[in-house]
Amino acid sequence: MTTLDDFITVNRSEILRRCRTQASKTSGPFPADAATEDGVSFFLDQLEQALRQGLRPHEGLSQRATRPGHVGLSERLTSSQVVHAYGDVCRAISELAEESHTTISASDFRMLTRHMDDALVGAVAEYERERDLAHLEVAVLRDSKRLGFLVHEMRNLLNTAMVAFDYLRSGNVGVASSTGTVLERSLAGLRSLAGRSIAEVRLAQGVQRLEPIMVAAFIEEVGAAATLEARAKALELTVLPVENGVAIDGDRQVLEAVVGNLLQNAFKFTKPGTAVTLRVHATPAAVRGRRIPEFATRQVAASIPAPFVEAKTCP
């Protein structure tokens, strides 16, 4: 009776050839010969070693399946192709043993299937780990670019503000001069940048804290803060009053950033010397009907996403 590890050693080339032939029938996006030669050959090495050392399943191959040779296979194949590649090994050994009338003990075959299962778990787990790592690297790169842009924009605004402030401090010009307008515009830009950044973080993380917000008072505060930016752009901002008694449950910082961005878009696309109007459609009757208040400008209109606010009527 031939031991399985000796059988694999003697018939290694034929096993690889059969695996390569089978892989070519189910060809994927990568060359079948490269996949079998690298990954399957490494698997046979580890299988022989495990059988000689008498390792039980879960003592070696699942860890070995994450080593460089196996990683080479999972780097270039999908998890489905990895499963098929290892299945081809088992099939090739079984068929070759039958054709050559070689007797291999049932215990060796059970050991083969168990080690095969163990290796598949390790290889697929490694494939998924590498895939998740690749996605993470892409996300980190994207976030790094966004952070770089944020820092660059913030530095430009700060430099402009510092130059304007130094000139004002010299006493040569007054706050109402063009230099004062430059400082005002830079500060408004910094506030806008901070608001956008906070909104992006809060939206990405989901609602952090809901709190009751009186719509009339909220709009009055937002309008007062936006007036500075409107004046810096030579625009007149009109904030229409909101009916008292209307409140919503929402994330205040996200809501401030969303409405602020809405106003910034209106300022951006409105010609200097003209006006922008902020209008809010919200009444106690509409709130009782579960309709979300609509925040709109003269040129841009949008509803606040439902997950961030919950409409209600104050008692």
Bridge partners, residue 212, by sequence: 249
Query: Each residue of 90-135: pLDDT tens digit?
Result: 888 888 888 988 888 888 878 777 777 777 777 667 767 777 777 7
Side-chain half-sphere of 258: how many Cα atoms within 13 Å? 20
Provide the pLDDT for residue 224.
80
* Contacts of residue 97, Cβ cutoff 8 Å, sequence gap at least 6: 7, 103, 104
Residue ranges of the chain with per-residue pLDDT less than 70: 1, 26-39, 54-82, 123-124, 127, 202-208, 282-315
Instruction: Report pLDDT for 26.
Output: 62
* pLDDT of 285: 56
pLDDT digits (tens, 9 = 90+) for 202-221: 666 665 677 888 888 888 88
- In 10 A of CB 29, how many CB atoms? 8
Look-up of token digits 């509803």: 303
**What is the reported pLDDT for 70?**
45
Q: Supply the pLDDT for residue 48.
A: 77
Look at residue 66 in the predicted model and tell me its pLDDT. 43
pLDDT of residue 283: 61
At 112, list the tokens. Answer: 């083969």
Are 198 and 257 in contact, with CB atoms under 8 Å apart? yes
Domain 208-313 adopts which CATH fold? Heat Shock Protein 90 (3.30.565)
* Residue 51 structure tokens: 């059988």
Residue 89 · residue 20 · CB < 8 Å: no
Query: What per-residue confidence (pLDDT) applies to 308?
Result: 38
Q: Helices 79-99 & 68-76, crossing angle to 10 degrees?
A: 110
4-138 to CATH, choices 2.130.10, 1.20.120, 3.30.70, 1.10.490: 1.10.490
pLDDT at 62: 46
* Domain extent listing, the chain: 4-138, 208-313
Q: Is 245 left (phi over 0), alpha (psi -120 to 50) or beta?
A: left
